[in-house]
């Protein structure tokens, strides 16, 4: 973008922000508890007259301006103005409506396909589109409550839901290998993609504005904290849940600690429990229940593929140790299984917490994509767990995730996905790949600038395994590469071994994403942490302290508002 264009866009943005605040301030002062902004008084009419181009100004900040104008005009009384709440709600509602139409049409795509892999990928698309529809409904329900202040309070949740929708779009299309099918699905989803991106842009820009104007809006400082708001209730000591959480979300955070719980179900291979397999116990979880459902998986090697469905929420599962309680399987891409379906263990329902278990995919490097653990669960956490495979070991697919004191091993892109994830105090083991391969620790799939997603690796150790160690100077290993256009990965306060190449990071394909990615390192140590010979890409940065603060547990995944209730220790900010 040229300097002149930046100045023009900046000026337009400023006009919009200054104009809209007039109406918002009046609304907050007039009725803090009001759920709607009514236009009626002469003062309000004067204020509206002062913002004759507010829709145009806001839509200048989106990628698809005409689509944006059409969307916002639908909730405007004069086709020129709209308040922030209505803008956000309208953008989500239009996206949801488009998805509803496309889901019906998409069922006819590839009806005659006989190819096993693409047939499965089309089935994945139907499941993923249903997920997207559900996420959008959650976002709409949340945005329709309260006033503009509610939008500000729930902005991270709204971004989280919409970012997941984008993850499902990408997963659907990437799973298709037949060019015609991929093209038909992509083209059919174009409008939905445009609307999703616009909604993310609108939510982000309006939230920035509301956060920056907290004084003018007469909001108390104690409702703000890391990332724009204080996450804990400012009321009584005993009520420490985020004040913006509802009753259902409070239940989600009531995670019991293993030392104090009586499990609802026990899995044991020897028949001494309630189930012989993990999946049996998951399938028996009541659809309607109170609080968190607790499953103890006794020591043993469980040869099965496990799926915790999206509707199965608030599960706490614990084993007898990451090497003693292990789930293992070997589904893989070479044998005709999509990456999405190759996972040995898949956790989708929100609020999944796991302790002291191991997950492995034993397909081997020769089978390429073979996932050990796929996580789509929002507000999920793993403690003292282990994930072992080669390519694509940990699929941190979508939503907010936290990993602590875990072991993650692999070769190619073995930590990948589109989630908002912090990996803390973990041992990351790089294995020996096939002769024609290089090792890449991360491949983040953030594909739009307004998504808050990305990977953060903090206070971890990155080391070679015993087979790679003797040849670590001959086999090239890298910290990451950009899977998608806005890939984002930050490595901080970690020990990096000498297996990592001096340039640190690897291109995906030529200059793809090198200007739009965000890769950063901060205060790392070890022979592989020397940044003097790192890549010179526009998107790569050696961060200073202030640069890295947005990537701490508290700021990046609002960790203090939910991880503490899982009983899992964590560093909320920087270690030093």
Q: Which two tokens stand for residue 469?
A: 């160690």
Strand partners, 477: 439, 500
Those residues with Cβ within 8 angstroms of residue 420's Cβ, 6 or more apart along the chain or in another chain: 160, 163, 399, 400, 401, 452, 453, 454, 556, 557
Those residues with Cβ within 8 angstroms of residue 337's Cβ, 6 or more apart along the chain or in another chain: 117, 120, 331
Q: Which of 71-75, 225-229, 343-347 has the lowest mean pLDDT?
A: 225-229
Name the phi and psi angles at 452, rounded to 5.
-85, 5
What is the full DSSP assignment across 432-497? P--TT--EEEEEE---STT---EEEEES-EEEE-TTTGGGTTTS-EEEE--SSTT-EEEEES-EE-
Give the C-alpha distances (Å, rounded to integers) separating 110 from 116, 181, 192, 239: 12, 6, 20, 52
Residues of the chain above pLDDT 70, percent:
82
Find out whether 407 and 378 touch, Cβ atoms under 8 Å.
no
Domains of the chain and any CATH numbers:
52-213 (1.20.140.40), 247-565 (2.160.20.10)
Indicate if the pLDDT at residue 13 is higher than 60: no
Question: Measured between alpha carbons, how far is 268 from 320 in angstroms, rounded to an integer?
Answer: 11
pLDDT reported for residue 215: 54
> pTM, whole model, 2 decimals?
0.87
With H, G, I as helix, E, B as strand and everything else as coil, classify residue 541. Answer: strand
pLDDT tens digits, one per residue of 115-130: 999 999 999 999 999 9
Q: Which of 18-32, 180-194, 272-286 has the lowest mean pLDDT?
A: 18-32
Distance of CA 475 to the CA centre of its chain: 31
pLDDT reported for residue 240: 39
Strand partners, 416: 395, 443
Name the phi and psi angles at 73, rounded to 5.
-60, -25
Indicate if the pLDDT at residue 112 is higher than 90: no
Mean per-residue pLDDT over the chain, rounded: 85
pLDDT reported for residue 48: 29
Question: Measured between alpha carbons, how far is 408 from 465 in angstroms, rounded to an integer?
Answer: 11
Question: Measured between alpha carbons, how far is 571 from 567 in angstroms, rounded to an integer?
Answer: 13
Q: Which of 41-50, 328-337, 391-400, 483-492 has the lowest mean pLDDT?
A: 41-50
Mean pLDDT score, 349-377:
97
Q: Which position has the higher pLDDT, 14 or 454?
A: 454
pLDDT reported for residue 44: 35
Question: Measured between alpha carbons, how far is 53 from 39 in angstroms, rounded to an integer?
Answer: 17
pLDDT reported for residue 150: 82
Confidence label for 483 from pLDDT (cuts 50, 70 and 90): very high
* Angle between helices 116-143 and 84-106 in degrees, nearest 10: 160
* Angle between helices 179-188 and 190-212 in degrees, nearest 10: 50
Indicate if the pLDDT at residue 544 is higher than 60: yes
Name the phi and psi angles at 96, rounded to 5.
-60, -45
Find out whether 574 and 545 touch, Cβ atoms under 8 Å.
yes
pLDDT reported for residue 550: 97
pLDDT reported for residue 207: 87
Active-site amino acid positions: 413
pLDDT tens digits, one per residue of 221-253: 333 233 333 333 222 223 334 433 444 444 444
- In 10 A of CB 272, how many CB atoms? 10
Confidence label for 260 from pLDDT (cuts 50, 70 and 90): low
pLDDT reported for residue 149: 80
Question: Measured between alpha carbons, how far is 457 from 490 in angstroms, rounded to an integer?
Answer: 6
Q: Which position has the higher pLDDT, 186 or 17?
A: 186
pLDDT tens digits, one per residue of 436-467: 999 999 999 999 999 999 999 999 999 999 99
pLDDT tens digits, one per residue of 120-156: 999 999 999 999 999 999 999 999 987 778 888 889 9
pLDDT reported for residue 479: 98
**325-329 and 439-444 strand pairing:** unpaired
Q: In what order do the strands lie in the sheet with 488-492?
A: 265-267, 293-297, 315-318, 353-355, 380-383, 400-404, 420-424, 454-458, 488-492, 518-522, 540-542
pLDDT reported for residue 216: 55
Give the H/E segment covering residue 563: none
Find out whether 565 and 380 touch, Cβ atoms under 8 Å.
no
């Amino acid at each position: 973008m040229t300097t002149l264009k930046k100045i023009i866009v900046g000026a337009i943005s400023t006009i919009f922000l200054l104009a809209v605040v007039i109406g918002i301030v009046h609304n907050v002062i007039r009725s803090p508890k009001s759920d709607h902004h009514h236009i009626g008084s002469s003062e309000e009419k004067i204020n509206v007259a002062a913002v004759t181009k507010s829709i145009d100004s806001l839509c200048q900040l989106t990628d698809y301006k005409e689509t944006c104008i059409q969307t916002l005009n639908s909730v405007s009384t004069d086709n020129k103005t709209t308040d922030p709440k209505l803008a956000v709600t309208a953008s989500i509602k239009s996206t949801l409506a488009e998805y509803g139409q496309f889901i019906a049409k998409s069922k006819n795509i590839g009806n005659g396909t006989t190819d096993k892999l693409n047939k499965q990928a089309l089935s994945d698309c139907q499941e993923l589109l249903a997920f997207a529809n559900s996420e959008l409904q959650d976002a709409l329900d949340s945005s329709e409550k309260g006033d503009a202040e509610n939008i500000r309070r729930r902005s991270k949740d709204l971004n989280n839901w919409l970012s997941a929708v984008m993850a499902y779009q990408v997963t659907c299309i990437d799973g298709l290998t037949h060019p015609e099918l991929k093209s038909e699905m992509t083209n059919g989803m174009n409008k939905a993609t445009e609307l999703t991106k616009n909604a993310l842009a609108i939510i982000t820009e309006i939230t920035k504005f509301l956060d920056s104007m907290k004084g003018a809006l007469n909001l108390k400082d104690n409702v703000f904290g890391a990332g724009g708001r204080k996450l804990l209730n400012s009321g009584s000591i005993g009520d420490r849940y985020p004040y913006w959480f509802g009753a259902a979300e409070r239940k989600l955070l009531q995670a019991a600690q293993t030392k104090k719980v009586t499990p609802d179900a026990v899995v044991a291979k020897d028949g001494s429990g309630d189930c012989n397999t993990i999946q049996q116990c998951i399938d028996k979880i009541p659809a309607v229940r109170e609080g968190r459902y607790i499953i103890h998986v006794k020591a043993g090697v469980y040869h099965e593929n496990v799926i915790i469905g999206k509707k199965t929420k608030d599960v706490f599962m614990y084993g007898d140790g990451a090497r003693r309680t292990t789930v293992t399987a070997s589904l893989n891409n070479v044998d005709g299984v999509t990456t999405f379906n190759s996972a040995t263990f898949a956790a989708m329902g929100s609020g999944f917490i796991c302790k002291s278990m191991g997950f492995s995919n034993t397909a081997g490097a020769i089978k390429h994509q073979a996932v050990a653990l796929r996580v789509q669960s929002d507000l999920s956490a793993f403690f003292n767990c282990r994930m072992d495979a080669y390519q694509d070991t940990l699929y941190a697919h979508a939503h907010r995730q936290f990993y602590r004191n875990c072991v993650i091993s692999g070769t190619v892109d073995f930590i990948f996905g589109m989630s908002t994830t912090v990996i803390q105090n973990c041992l990351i083991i790089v294995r020996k790949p096939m002769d024609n391969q290089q090792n890449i620790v991360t491949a983040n799939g953030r594909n739009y600038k307004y998504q808050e997603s990305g990977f953060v690796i903090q206070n971890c150790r990155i080391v070679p395994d015993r087979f790679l160690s003797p040849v670590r100077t001959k086999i090239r290993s890298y910290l990451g590469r950009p899977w998608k256009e806005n890939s984002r990965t930050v490595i901080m306060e970690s020990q990096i071994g000498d297996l990592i190449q001096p340039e640190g990071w690897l291109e995906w394909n030529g200059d793809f994403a090198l200007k739009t990615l965000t890769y950063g390192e901060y205060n790392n140590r070890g022979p592989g942490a020397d940044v003097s010979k790192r890549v010179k890409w526009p998107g790569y940065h050696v961060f200073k302290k202030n640069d890295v603060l947005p990537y701490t547990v508290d700021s990046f995944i609002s960790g203090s508002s939910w991880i503490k209730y899982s009983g899992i220790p964590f560093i909320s900010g920087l270690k030093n």
